A and B are shown apart, each in its own frame.
Chain A
Amino acid sequence: MNAELRNHIIELLDKGTRLDGRSLLDYRKPVKVEYDASNSAEGSARITIGDTELIVGIKMEVSTPYPDTPDQGGLMVNTELLPLSNPEFESGPPSIEAIELSRVVDRGIRESKAIDMKKLCLIEGEKAWTVIIDICPINAAGNLFDASALGALAALKNAKFPKLGEGEVVDYSEKTDEALPLAKMPVSVTVCKIGSHFIIDPTTEEEKVIDARLTVATDEKNQLCALQKGGDYPLTIDDISKMLDIGVEKCNELRKAL
């Protein structure tokens, strides 16, 4: 069945269009960022890209820094592919898809040095903030990669430190006015290859038939900060160069939604 769907999609792409009438390098509409999606989180955002909708929430905890980085805080990204959001998702421990998604979002933020980790340290070697980003799809209808990275950045922008009581005990009932120290604005765009075509923002159906994908995370100065090739189909250097060009350009477009 997928072979037929694939042929149909490629025929459309040859004519410069897609199943939903978009052109190859268009995002679905709307691309929407809403802040404060959950008031129990320290920061949160709801992202809508076409039919795909997800909530990203941030909790901040005080914990002991890692021994190799005693003067830095921590970052953790986690995705729950909720069975509420797609008929094919199942309950249970995180699937490999959820783990890959979390790790790619994590790298985009960590490696671009979007958060100044040293500013999260409270007492060197003893206490530092850990920022935990949780990604929860509400309606998973394709391209969770880009929606998640955008949502993670939006939630970070939205986050405020909770009040810190005596002995560095967190009082979650009160938030301070202090925002997270954000130095960069990394977002990501996933470029997919199908046949000889490149497309962005795939729907669930398109995701099932693509040959390969490349997630390109860039900061606002167009520097690459994380990449991830997906799919078991090889890419040439020429392919990659073209996909990077598309990625960099579209990252700038996506960043405007913030």
Chain B
Amino acid sequence: MTYTKRLDKRKFDETRPIEAKVGVIKNADGSARFKIGNTVALAAVYGPRELYPRFMQNPEKGILRVNYNMMPFSGHGNRVRPGPNRRSKEIAMVTKNALLPVVDLSEFPNAVVDVFIELPQTDAGTRCAGICAAAMALADAGIIMKDLVSSVAVGCIDGTVVADLNYDEEAFEGIVADIPVAVLPNTGEVVLLQMDGEMSKDNMVKALELAKKVCADIYEIQKKALKEKYTVKGDKK
């Protein structure tokens, strides 16, 4: 069997509609909202600020802390019990690993930069949406970065490589592989890679190439959103 037509009629390399906005949380030093289809991620950055307890401080450079949380009503079925769980802790860790290569906190010894990611509604691809929002929020907070981070889930459904799986595709009755990927858009390097499911090595390489291409498009959307916040009305571009 082959997957010849996508459940929501998208092209194989087409993402769901994306909206990005920077500066959505006034209290935060930097913030962003990233919406892809029905998945919405909010990210807020606080810091650099003093880190307590003191034993956690690093006198050589500032540290990055990432928190990922689904709001209790954001899940597909039952209410998600509030508070951290194994899944959210792992996602926070891989998100941090994806962001660390681009941020430079050497000027902020003993300090912390906190990134909080919240999901008000979800339809698959939450860690990728969270990473896109977090990268924009870090830039908005004025953290020194050598690149943004762009992220999308790609996958393989019955031998067909597709971009940005939604919940129905993840749950599709067939052979499905889901691959969240994050890429540094200016070097093409991969900073997040996970996979679950079943697929061939050849398709895996194809999927990664697709992820790189899609992330390049997402990068443009992220840049546009950042520029929008810092463009004074009436300014020429």
Collect the chain A residues with CB atoms within 8 Å of residue B46's CB. 83, 87
Q: Pick the residue among B49, B79, B83, B122 that contacts A59 (CB under 8 A).
A: B79
Q: How many residues of A contact B (CB 8 A)?
A: 32
With the chains together, A134 CA to B78 CA distance in Å? 13
Chain B residue nearest in CB terms to A56:
B73
Contact B27 A139 (CB under 8 A): yes
Q: Please tell me if A165 contacts chain B, counting CB pairs below 8 Å.
A: no
Given A39-B38, A139-B25, A141-B26: A82 touches B121 (CB 8 Å cut-off): no
Given A86-B27, A134-B79: A40 touches B74 (CB 8 Å cut-off): yes
Shortest CB distance A4–B (Å): 22
With the chains together, A84 CA to B79 CA distance in Å? 21
Contact B25 A138 (CB under 8 A): yes
Collect the chain B residues with CB atoms within 8 Å of residue A38's CB. 40, 71, 73-74, 120-121
Given A82-B69, A82-B116, A86-B27: A40 touches B44 (CB 8 Å cut-off): no
Q: Please tell me if A187 contacts chain B, counting CB pairs below 8 Å.
A: no
Contact B76 A40 (CB under 8 A): yes
Given A61-B78, A93-B83, A139-B26: A84 touches B72 (CB 8 Å cut-off): no
Q: Please tell me if A55 contacts chain B, counting CB pairs below 8 Å.
A: yes
Q: Please tell me if B42 contacts chain A, counting CB pairs below 8 Å.
A: yes
Contact A136 B79 (CB under 8 A): no
Contact B27 A82 (CB under 8 A): no
Contact A84 B116 (CB under 8 A): yes
Contact B25 A85 (CB under 8 A): yes
Contact A58 B114 (CB under 8 A): no
Collect the chain B residues with CB atoms within 8 Å of residue A132's CB. 72-73, 79
With the chains together, A61 CA to B84 CA distance in Å? 21
Contact B83 A40 (CB under 8 A): no
Q: A44-B73, A86-B27 are in contact. List 4 more A-B contacts (CB 8 A).
A: A57-B73, A80-B72, A82-B116, A141-B27
- Chain A 124-147 interface 0/1 with B at a Cβ cutoff of 8 Å (1 = within): 000000001010101111000000
Contact A80 B79 (CB under 8 A): no
Q: Pick the residue among B27, B43, B71, B123 that contacts A134 (CB under 8 A).
A: B71
Complex interface residues of chain A between 1 and 60 (CB less than 8 A to chain B): 37-42, 44, 51, 55, 57-59
Contact B73 A84 (CB under 8 A): no
Contact B67 A83 (CB under 8 A): yes
Contact B76 A51 (CB under 8 A): no
Q: Please tell me if A72 contacts chain B, counting CB pairs below 8 Å.
A: no
Q: Pick the residue among B78, B82, B118 that contacts A84 (CB under 8 A).
A: B118
Contact B78 A59 (CB under 8 A): yes
Q: Please tell me if B159 contacts chain A, counting CB pairs below 8 Å.
A: no
With the chains together, A51 CA to B76 CA distance in Å? 30
Sampled A-B contacts (30; CB under 8 Å): A37-B120, A38-B40, A38-B71, A38-B73, A38-B120, A40-B75, A40-B76, A40-B121, A41-B121, A42-B73, A51-B27, A55-B120, A57-B71, A57-B72, A57-B74, A83-B67, A83-B116, A84-B28, A84-B42, A84-B43, A84-B116, A86-B27, A87-B28, A132-B73, A134-B79, A136-B71, A136-B72, A136-B120, A140-B27, A141-B26
Q: Please tell me if A91 contacts chain B, counting CB pairs below 8 Å.
A: yes
Contact B120 A87 (CB under 8 A): no
Q: Please tell me if A78 contacts chain B, counting CB pairs below 8 Å.
A: yes
Q: Please tell me if A172 contacts chain B, counting CB pairs below 8 Å.
A: yes
Query: 5 shortest A-B CB distances, which residue pairs?
Result: A57-B73, A41-B73, A84-B116, A59-B79, A134-B72
Collect the chain A residues with CB atoms within 8 Å of residue B73's CB. 38, 40-42, 44, 57-59, 132, 134
Q: Please tell me if B77 contacts chain A, counting CB pairs below 8 Å.
A: yes
Chain A residue nearest in CB terms to B74:
A40
Collect the chain A residues with CB atoms within 8 Å of residue B69's CB. 82
Complex interface residues of chain A between 111 and 125 (CB less than 8 A to chain B): none
